Protein backbone atom coordinates (compact mmCIF):
# COMPACT_ATOMS: atom_id res chain seq x y z
CA UNK A 1 0.00 0.00 0.00
CA UNK A 2 2.93 2.35 0.57
CA UNK A 3 6.69 2.77 0.43
CA UNK A 4 9.07 4.41 2.85
CA UNK A 5 11.61 6.88 1.44
CA UNK A 6 14.76 6.60 3.52
CA UNK A 7 16.15 9.87 2.19
CA UNK A 8 18.64 11.24 4.71
CA UNK A 9 17.33 9.17 7.63
CA UNK A 10 20.86 7.97 8.33
CA UNK A 11 21.77 11.48 9.56
CA UNK A 12 18.80 12.48 11.79
CA UNK A 13 21.02 14.81 13.84
CA UNK A 14 21.40 16.97 10.70
CA UNK A 15 17.66 17.12 10.02
CA UNK A 16 17.17 20.85 10.54
CA UNK A 17 20.47 21.80 8.95
CA UNK A 18 19.54 19.90 5.79
CA UNK A 19 16.02 21.31 5.88
CA UNK A 20 17.29 24.91 5.97
CA UNK A 21 19.92 24.28 3.28
CA UNK A 22 17.52 22.63 0.83
CA UNK A 23 14.76 25.14 1.52
CA UNK A 24 17.18 27.97 0.78
CA UNK A 25 18.34 26.26 -2.42
CA UNK A 26 14.75 25.62 -3.52
CA UNK A 27 13.65 29.21 -2.93
CA UNK A 28 16.78 30.47 -4.71
CA UNK A 29 16.08 28.28 -7.74
CA UNK A 30 12.47 29.47 -7.86
CA UNK A 31 13.44 33.15 -7.61
CA UNK A 32 16.35 33.04 -10.06
CA UNK A 33 14.49 31.11 -12.72
CA UNK A 34 11.34 33.21 -12.28
CA UNK A 35 13.39 36.37 -12.80
CA UNK A 36 14.90 34.94 -15.98
CA UNK A 37 11.43 34.06 -17.31
CA UNK A 38 10.12 37.54 -16.45
CA UNK A 39 13.07 39.28 -18.11
CA UNK A 40 12.84 37.12 -21.22
CA UNK A 41 9.14 37.95 -21.55
CA UNK A 42 9.27 41.69 -20.82
CA UNK A 43 12.63 42.97 -22.10
CA UNK A 44 12.38 43.76 -25.86
CA UNK A 45 16.15 43.27 -26.23
CA UNK A 46 15.80 39.65 -25.12
CA UNK A 47 13.16 38.58 -27.63
CA UNK A 48 15.55 36.14 -29.30
CA UNK A 49 15.45 32.36 -29.80
CA UNK A 50 18.24 31.92 -27.25
CA UNK A 51 16.19 33.55 -24.52
CA UNK A 52 13.02 31.82 -25.66
CA UNK A 53 14.76 28.48 -25.08
CA UNK A 54 16.29 29.73 -21.84
CA UNK A 55 12.93 30.86 -20.43
CA UNK A 56 11.46 27.44 -21.24
CA UNK A 57 14.50 25.84 -19.65
CA UNK A 58 14.02 27.94 -16.51
CA UNK A 59 10.35 26.94 -16.31
CA UNK A 60 11.38 23.30 -16.76
CA UNK A 61 13.88 23.64 -13.93
CA UNK A 62 11.17 25.02 -11.63
CA UNK A 63 8.95 22.04 -12.44
CA UNK A 64 11.84 19.60 -12.11
CA UNK A 65 12.88 20.57 -8.61
CA UNK A 66 9.24 21.00 -7.50
CA UNK A 67 8.64 17.34 -8.34
CA UNK A 68 11.12 16.25 -5.66
CA UNK A 69 12.27 18.90 -3.20
CA UNK A 70 8.95 19.83 -1.49
CA UNK A 71 8.37 16.15 -0.73
CA UNK A 72 11.92 15.83 0.59
CA UNK A 73 11.46 18.91 2.78
CA UNK A 74 8.27 17.43 4.22
CA UNK A 75 10.09 14.18 5.02
CA UNK A 76 12.92 16.10 6.70
CA UNK A 77 10.40 18.11 8.74
CA UNK A 78 8.34 15.12 9.88
CA UNK A 79 11.13 12.52 9.89
CA UNK A 80 8.66 10.24 8.10
CA UNK A 81 9.11 9.00 4.56
CA UNK A 82 5.82 7.22 4.03
CA UNK A 83 4.50 7.63 0.48
CA UNK A 84 1.58 5.85 -1.17
CA UNK A 85 2.10 3.73 -4.28
CA UNK A 86 0.06 6.17 -6.39
CA UNK A 87 2.01 9.19 -5.14
CA UNK A 88 5.26 7.33 -5.73
CA UNK A 89 4.26 6.44 -9.31
CA UNK A 90 3.15 10.01 -9.99
CA UNK A 91 6.41 11.45 -8.69
CA UNK A 92 8.49 9.02 -10.70
CA UNK A 93 6.56 9.79 -13.87
CA UNK A 94 7.10 13.54 -13.56
CA UNK A 95 10.79 13.16 -12.72
CA UNK A 96 11.36 10.90 -15.75
CA UNK A 97 9.23 13.01 -18.08
CA UNK A 98 10.87 16.28 -17.04
CA UNK A 99 14.33 14.72 -17.18
CA UNK A 100 13.68 13.54 -20.74
CA UNK A 101 12.39 16.99 -21.66
CA UNK A 102 15.57 18.52 -20.27
CA UNK A 103 17.73 16.28 -22.46
CA UNK A 104 15.81 17.25 -25.58
CA UNK A 105 15.67 20.93 -24.68
CA UNK A 106 19.44 20.99 -24.17
CA UNK A 107 19.75 19.51 -27.66
CA UNK A 108 17.50 22.21 -29.11
CA UNK A 109 19.59 24.88 -27.39
CA UNK A 110 22.77 23.35 -28.87
CA UNK A 111 21.17 23.47 -32.32
CA UNK A 112 20.32 27.13 -31.76
CA UNK A 113 23.97 27.91 -30.93
CA UNK A 114 25.12 25.87 -33.94
CA UNK A 115 22.96 27.84 -36.34
CA UNK A 116 23.89 31.18 -34.72
CA UNK A 117 27.63 30.59 -35.06
CA UNK A 118 27.98 28.28 -38.06
CA UNK A 119 25.17 29.63 -40.25
CA UNK A 120 24.65 33.22 -39.03
CA UNK A 121 23.34 34.53 -42.36
CA UNK A 122 20.49 31.99 -42.27
CA UNK A 123 19.82 32.30 -38.53
CA UNK A 124 16.65 34.39 -38.80
CA UNK A 125 15.26 31.96 -41.38
CA UNK A 126 16.21 28.69 -39.69
CA UNK A 127 15.31 29.81 -36.16
CA UNK A 128 12.07 31.68 -36.79
CA UNK A 129 9.33 31.66 -34.17
CA UNK A 130 7.43 28.66 -35.56
CA UNK A 131 10.59 26.52 -35.61
CA UNK A 132 11.45 27.45 -32.02
CA UNK A 133 7.90 26.67 -30.93
CA UNK A 134 8.00 23.28 -32.66
CA UNK A 135 11.34 22.37 -31.05
CA UNK A 136 10.09 23.30 -27.59
CA UNK A 137 6.76 21.53 -28.08
CA UNK A 138 8.52 18.38 -29.30
CA UNK A 139 10.82 18.47 -26.26
CA UNK A 140 7.87 18.67 -23.85
CA UNK A 141 5.51 16.23 -25.56
CA UNK A 142 7.65 13.43 -26.99
CA UNK A 143 8.51 11.86 -23.63
CA UNK A 144 4.99 11.80 -22.21
CA UNK A 145 3.69 8.50 -23.71
CA UNK A 146 7.06 6.76 -23.26
CA UNK A 147 7.35 7.66 -19.58
CA UNK A 148 3.71 6.76 -18.92
CA UNK A 149 4.44 3.31 -20.35
CA UNK A 150 7.66 2.93 -18.41
CA UNK A 151 6.06 4.01 -15.13
CA UNK A 152 3.18 1.58 -15.65
CA UNK A 153 5.65 -1.21 -16.44
CA UNK A 154 7.65 -0.58 -13.26
CA UNK A 155 4.62 -0.45 -10.96
CA UNK A 156 3.14 -3.58 -12.53
CA UNK A 157 5.95 -5.54 -10.88
CA UNK A 158 5.27 -7.40 -7.61
CA UNK A 159 6.92 -5.76 -4.59
CA UNK A 160 6.95 -8.49 -2.00
CA UNK A 161 10.24 -7.89 -0.23
CA UNK A 162 11.05 -4.63 1.51
CA UNK A 163 9.11 -1.39 1.02
CA UNK A 164 12.04 0.82 2.03
CA UNK A 165 13.38 2.92 -0.87
CA UNK A 166 16.99 4.00 -0.39
CA UNK A 167 16.46 7.36 -2.06
CA UNK A 168 14.85 10.72 -1.35
CA UNK A 169 12.35 10.32 -4.20
CA UNK A 170 10.81 7.49 -6.22
CA UNK A 171 13.21 6.51 -8.97
CA UNK A 172 13.67 3.46 -11.17
CA UNK A 173 16.97 1.93 -9.89
CA UNK A 174 16.00 1.75 -6.18
CA UNK A 175 12.50 0.50 -7.04
CA UNK A 176 13.83 -2.28 -9.25
CA UNK A 177 15.91 -3.46 -6.28
CA UNK A 178 12.68 -4.01 -4.32
CA UNK A 179 10.90 -6.02 -7.02
CA UNK A 180 10.79 -9.76 -6.43
CA UNK A 181 9.73 -10.75 -9.94
CA UNK A 182 11.74 -11.00 -13.15
CA UNK A 183 13.00 -7.48 -13.90
CA UNK A 184 15.05 -8.33 -17.00
CA UNK A 185 12.63 -6.73 -19.48
CA UNK A 186 12.25 -3.69 -17.23
CA UNK A 187 16.02 -3.27 -17.10
CA UNK A 188 16.24 -3.57 -20.88
CA UNK A 189 13.48 -0.97 -21.25
CA UNK A 190 15.34 1.40 -18.92
CA UNK A 191 18.50 1.05 -21.01
CA UNK A 192 16.62 1.58 -24.28
CA UNK A 193 14.87 4.72 -23.02
CA UNK A 194 18.10 5.99 -21.45
CA UNK A 195 19.95 5.55 -24.73
CA UNK A 196 17.14 7.29 -26.63
CA UNK A 197 16.85 10.25 -24.26
CA UNK A 198 20.43 10.49 -22.99
CA UNK A 199 22.98 9.12 -25.43
CA UNK A 200 21.40 10.06 -28.79
CA UNK A 201 20.78 13.71 -27.82
CA UNK A 202 24.24 13.83 -26.23
CA UNK A 203 25.86 12.65 -29.47
CA UNK A 204 23.89 15.26 -31.42
CA UNK A 205 25.12 17.94 -29.02
CA UNK A 206 28.72 16.73 -29.36
CA UNK A 207 28.50 16.85 -33.17
CA UNK A 208 27.04 20.37 -32.97
CA UNK A 209 29.84 21.57 -30.70
CA UNK A 210 32.57 20.01 -32.83
CA UNK A 211 31.26 22.04 -35.76
CA UNK A 212 30.87 25.13 -33.55
CA UNK A 213 34.45 24.90 -32.26
CA UNK A 214 35.83 24.33 -35.76
CA UNK A 215 33.93 27.40 -36.97
CA UNK A 216 35.05 29.56 -34.05
CA UNK A 217 38.70 28.67 -34.63
CA UNK A 218 38.40 30.13 -38.12
CA UNK A 219 37.49 33.57 -36.79
CA UNK A 220 40.24 36.12 -37.19
CA UNK A 221 39.04 38.40 -34.38
CA UNK A 222 39.97 37.43 -30.81
CA UNK A 223 37.03 39.48 -29.60
CA UNK A 224 34.65 37.58 -31.86
CA UNK A 225 36.06 34.25 -30.64
CA UNK A 226 35.61 35.31 -27.01
CA UNK A 227 32.00 36.31 -27.63
CA UNK A 228 31.24 33.10 -29.47
CA UNK A 229 32.75 30.97 -26.72
CA UNK A 230 30.95 32.98 -24.03
CA UNK A 231 27.51 32.09 -25.42
CA UNK A 232 28.36 28.37 -25.56
CA UNK A 233 30.67 27.57 -22.66
CA UNK A 234 28.09 27.47 -19.85
CA UNK A 235 25.67 25.39 -21.92
CA UNK A 236 28.43 22.89 -22.71
CA UNK A 237 29.43 22.66 -19.02
CA UNK A 238 25.85 21.89 -17.98
CA UNK A 239 25.48 19.35 -20.79
CA UNK A 240 28.53 17.48 -19.47
CA UNK A 241 27.30 17.65 -15.85
CA UNK A 242 23.71 16.69 -16.59
CA UNK A 243 24.39 13.88 -19.07
CA UNK A 244 27.31 12.65 -17.01
CA UNK A 245 25.29 12.27 -13.81
CA UNK A 246 22.31 10.82 -15.69
CA UNK A 247 24.60 8.21 -17.31
CA UNK A 248 26.10 7.28 -13.93
CA UNK A 249 22.61 6.85 -12.50
CA UNK A 250 20.90 4.92 -15.30
CA UNK A 251 23.60 3.32 -17.44
CA UNK A 252 26.03 1.92 -14.87
CA UNK A 253 26.17 -1.89 -14.66
CA UNK A 254 23.98 -3.28 -11.92
CA UNK A 255 26.85 -5.02 -10.14
CA UNK A 256 28.81 -1.75 -9.89
CA UNK A 257 26.09 0.32 -8.28
CA UNK A 258 27.31 1.79 -5.03
CA UNK A 259 24.97 2.54 -2.18
CA UNK A 260 23.55 6.02 -2.55
CA UNK A 261 25.42 6.80 -5.81
CA UNK A 262 22.29 7.39 -7.87
CA UNK A 263 20.73 9.43 -5.06
CA UNK A 264 23.45 12.06 -4.95
CA UNK A 265 24.42 12.08 -8.62
CA UNK A 266 20.88 12.74 -9.79
CA UNK A 267 20.29 15.20 -6.95
CA UNK A 268 23.34 17.14 -8.15
CA UNK A 269 21.85 17.18 -11.63
CA UNK A 270 18.80 18.97 -10.23
CA UNK A 271 20.83 22.10 -9.52
CA UNK A 272 23.31 22.52 -12.37
CA UNK A 273 20.68 23.98 -14.77
CA UNK A 274 20.16 26.91 -12.40
CA UNK A 275 23.89 27.59 -12.74
CA UNK A 276 23.46 27.57 -16.51
CA UNK A 277 20.52 29.96 -16.39
CA UNK A 278 22.43 32.46 -14.25
CA UNK A 279 25.69 32.13 -16.17
CA UNK A 280 24.18 32.42 -19.65
CA UNK A 281 22.15 35.43 -18.54
CA UNK A 282 25.18 37.27 -17.11
CA UNK A 283 27.39 36.44 -20.07
CA UNK A 284 24.77 37.45 -22.61
CA UNK A 285 24.24 40.74 -20.82
CA UNK A 286 27.98 41.35 -20.87
CA UNK A 287 28.40 40.39 -24.51
CA UNK A 288 24.96 41.47 -25.71
CA UNK A 289 24.86 41.41 -29.46
CA UNK A 290 27.90 39.16 -29.68
CA UNK A 291 26.32 36.83 -32.20
CA UNK A 292 25.33 39.72 -34.40
CA UNK A 293 28.91 41.04 -34.37
CA UNK A 294 30.20 37.62 -35.35
CA UNK A 295 27.80 37.73 -38.29
pLDDT at residue 131 in the model: 93
Q: What is the 3-state secondary structure (H, E, C) of the chain?
A: CEEEECCCCCCHHHHHHHHHHHHHHHHHHHHHHHHHHHHHHHCHHHCCHHHHHHHHHHHHHHHHHHCCHHHHHHHHHHCCCEEEHHHHHHHHHHHHHHHHHHHHHHHHHHHHHHHHHHCHHHHHHHCCHHHHHHHHHHHHHCHHHHHHHHHHHHHCCCCCCCCEECCCCCCHHHHHHHCCCCCHHHHHHHHHHHHHHHHHHHHHHHHHHHHHHHHHHCCCCHHHHHHHHHCCHHHHHHHHHHHHHHHHHHCCCHHHCCCCHHHHHHHHHHHHHHHHHHHHHHHHHHCCCHHHHHC
CA 273 to chain CA centroid, Å, is 7
pLDDT at residue 274 in the model: 54
CB 82 within 8 A of CB 2: yes
pLDDT at residue 180 in the model: 84
Q: How does pLDDT run along the chain (295 residues), one tens digit per residue?
A: 789 998 877 777 888 998 998 899 899 889 988 988 998 889 888 888 888 998 898 899 899 889 999 999 998 888 888 999 999 999 999 999 998 998 899 999 999 989 988 888 899 889 999 999 999 999 999 989 999 999 999 998 888 778 898 888 898 888 888 888 788 888 888 888 888 888 888 899 999 988 888 888 877 666 667 766 766 777 777 777 777 776 666 655 554 455 555 555 555 555 554 555 555 455 445 444 444 444 4
Instruction: Write down the pTM of the prediction.
Output: 0.84
pLDDT at residue 293 in the model: 43
Pairing relationship of beta strands 82-84 and 2-5 according to DSSP bridges: antiparallel
Distance separating alpha carbons of residues 83 and 72, to the nearest angstrom: 11
Domain at 2-290, CATH homologous superfamily:
Rhodopsin 7-helix transmembrane proteins (1.20.1070.10)
User: What sign has the CA pseudo-torsion 120, 223, 108, 274?
Assistant: negative
258 Cβ contact list (under 8 Å, min separation 6): none
pLDDT, tens only, 13-70: 888 998 998 899 899 889 988 988 998 889 888 888 888 998 898 899 899 889 999 9
CB 204 within 8 A of CB 106: no
pLDDT at residue 145 in the model: 93
Amino acid sequence: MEFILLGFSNVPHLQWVLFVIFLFMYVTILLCNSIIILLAKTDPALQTPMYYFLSNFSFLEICYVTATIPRMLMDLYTLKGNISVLACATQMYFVLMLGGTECLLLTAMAYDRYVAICQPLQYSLLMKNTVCLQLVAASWISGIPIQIGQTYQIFSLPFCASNRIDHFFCDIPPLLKLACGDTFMNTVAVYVVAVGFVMVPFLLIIVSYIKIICNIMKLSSDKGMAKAFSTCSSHLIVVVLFYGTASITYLQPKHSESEGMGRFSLFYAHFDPSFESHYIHSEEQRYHGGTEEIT
